[in-house]
Structure 1
Amino acid sequence: MKVNKQFDVIIVGGSYSGLAAGMALGRALKNVLIIDSGKPCNAQTPQSHNFLTQDGKTPTEIASLGKQQVQMYSTVAFFNGLAINGKKTENGFEIQIDSGEIFSAEKLIFATGIKDAMPAIEGFKDCWGISVLHCPYCHGYEVRNEKTGILGNGDHGYELSILISNWTNDLVLFTNGKSALTVEQTEKLKKHHIKIEEKEVGRLEHSNGYLQNIVFKDGTKSSLKVMYSRNSFKQHCFIPETLGCQLTDEGYIKVDPFQETTVQGVFACGDNVTRIRTVANAVAMGTSAGMTASKKMILEQF
């Protein structure tokens, strides 16, 4: 299949981290293609927080303004599509799109995020990002002092309970079955007046994603306004792995301090490389990836 065009850098993923990388590269006069399928993982989130100058804006507002600003750089182009394959070539890399197009570049940046694995609880997915939350630093202030639940068990449930106790004194740990906490952990939570509920969760009652009750399989209910959950995940895009990029033990793409992966010329940034899932952090990593990729090209071509 014919390659459509050669770019200096292809960025796969056009949300916050990808846009930040695109801006850094555009300002470095590099020819860039940003490929995006238009499905950000925080699409349901009403507001974004803890991002200086953007606090309280919707994710869509931030991304739209970011894209407008990146589009001002004439060397940056956008392509709406899903990247489905990639390969190493003599001159760099090729990326294939689901519609059949193939683009090539000297460097690649993956800003592809992760895909959360939702538990099989009715209503959970509808509430995710709205009233079932992953990060207190992003959303904890808005629900401070509310009756709050933690969905978790064992070490993860214990650690998350300790963290969230900073934002509320009305806290319940829902273990969704028999507790796997140690005796010491149980006593420590009780000492801090954190309740432990071992009933199995049946479903979440909500109104347009805003939690009202947690309903147990025995039919009983517990009123609740907000709940935190630390879900498992998988990489949203498998192309970095097919190119040989190593993952960490947690499942993130392994990068060095400058966002380069274990494959030379391939960079990654944003939620796919770290558990710190904030817009501000994604932007910072994208900027770093774009600057580093451009600097490497400048030095290589001199």
Structure 2
Amino acid sequence: MIYDCIIVGGGPAGLNAALVLGRARRKIALIDNNQPRNAVTHASHGFITRDGVTPAEFRRIAYEEVLRYPSVEHIQTEIISINKIDSGFAVHDSFGRHIEARRLILATGLKEVLPEIEGLRPLYGKSLFNCPYCDGWELRDQPLVVVCENPHVFHMAKMLLNWSKDLVICTNGKTFLSDEQKKSLEAKGVVVNEQTVSSFMGHDGQLQAVRFADGTEILRTGGFISPNLIQTASMVDHLTVERNNSGGFSTDGSGRTSIPGLYSAGDVSYFMPSQLVFAAADGSRTAMSVNMDLTEEEFELF
């Protein structure tokens, strides 16, 4: 069997793409390894009608809706490789299966690389987060810490003042802030600490204090971490898909990559902002492009 489209990735982008293509009566293989990046998140916010939903509940509802359409098949497996073939694309999984389709959407998302700081992981997704738009409301007016090891730190600090005026900004040993930026933040009451963070201390997921390399500590009840984001779609590296400045796949604005028939949707293309609503919308737009391209091809043939 040759599918109309294989969708690799069962996050909001892949699921919304499957929904749109299923409703367009396309034969779809939705392939997912059931390892969502937001699995540690207690709730997702900013998506109208789903504000506060847990990632697990979001996926349950989404799969229930998508699989109502008989032409959509869900295959839970790990993709090993993807190759371009005459008829489209061939996907090979960890069970040795060979799956073919005329078109392919990459919706694999990104992988977070967190700073190697003792005590971070038990708190991440509970009182330490990465997105103020997702979790800033829940931490409003609390004493917060921000750990950011990139030039985005100044923007992050300014933005977080919308949620709390009690901020300590940590660059974890880096020197991205200029003297002018530091003075600007300090004038707003923001504390800047450029020491290395040695550990986070907390209990049952609740942050209590931050310890620095010199042994000093500050009391904090929550905060934000800026992880590095890297591609997870290594199975197409050999296809030399063009990349954009952020390392995502370059597209024409409608999901089409530099390789004919290969599309990308969601975080895998844009990296930021990493939110459900953005990814789902991009999945919908890309699916429409796939259906349009298939329709044009079929119309010419028949």
- Give ranges in structure 1 of 5+ residues lacking alignment: none
Question: How many Å apart are 1:43 and its aligned residue?
Answer: 0.2
Match of 1:279 among 271, 276, 283: 276
Question: How many Å apart are 1:154 and its aligned residue?
Answer: 6.1
Please state if 1:83 is matched with 2:79.
yes
Please state if 1:104 is matched with 2:109.
no
AA partner of residue 19 (structure 1): L
Quote the residue 1:215 is aligned against.
Answer: 211
Match of 2:128 among 129, 132, 135: 132
Q: Is the 8 A contact 1:201 1:215 kept in 2?
A: yes
Cα separation, 2, equivalents of 1:154 and 1:250: 14
Change (3 A) 1:186 1:22: same
Cα separation, 1, equivalents of 2:149 and 2:184: 15
AA partner of residue 229 (structure 1): I
Match of 1:16 among 12, 17, 20: 12
- Please list, as runs of the form range in 1=range in 2, the aligned pairs for 1:54-65 lying within 5 A after superposition: 54-65=50-61
Quote the residue 1:41 is aligned against.
Answer: 37
When normalised by structure 1's length, the TM-score is: 0.94
The alignment of Structure 1 onto Structure 2 pairs a total of residues equal to 298
* CA deviations over 1:165-204 (Å, ceiling 9, x no partner): 1111101111222644211111111111111123321111
Question: How many Å apart are 1:48 and its aligned residue?
Answer: 0.7
Deviates more, 1:100-109 or 1:179-188: 179-188
Query: Over aligned residue pairs, what C-alpha RMSD do you find?
Result: 1.4
Match of 1:289 among 286, 289, 296: 286
Structure 1 stretches of 4+ with a deviation exceeding 4 A read none
Question: How many Å apart are 1:131 and its aligned residue?
Answer: 2.1
Change (3 A) 1:10 1:126: same
Quote the residue 1:198 is aligned against.
Answer: 194
- Give ranges in structure 2 of 5+ residues lacking alignment: none
Change (3 A) 1:146 1:252: same
AA partner of residue 266 (structure 2): G
AA partner of residue 118 (structure 2): E
AA partner of residue 280 (structure 1): V
Q: Is the 8 A contact 2:149 2:226 kept in 1?
A: no
Please state if 1:183 is matched with 2:179.
yes
Once the two structures are aligned, what percentage of the paired residues are identical? Answer: 31
* CA deviations over 1:37-81 (Å, ceiling 9, x no partner): 000000010011110000111111111100001110000001111
Partner-residue secondary structure (3-state), 2:152 = helix
Q: Is the 8 A contact 2:89 2:102 kept in 1?
A: yes
Match of 2:231 among 197, 219, 235: 235
Cα separation, 2, equivalents of 1:106 and 1:32: 10
Deviates more, 1:146-155 or 1:53-62: 146-155
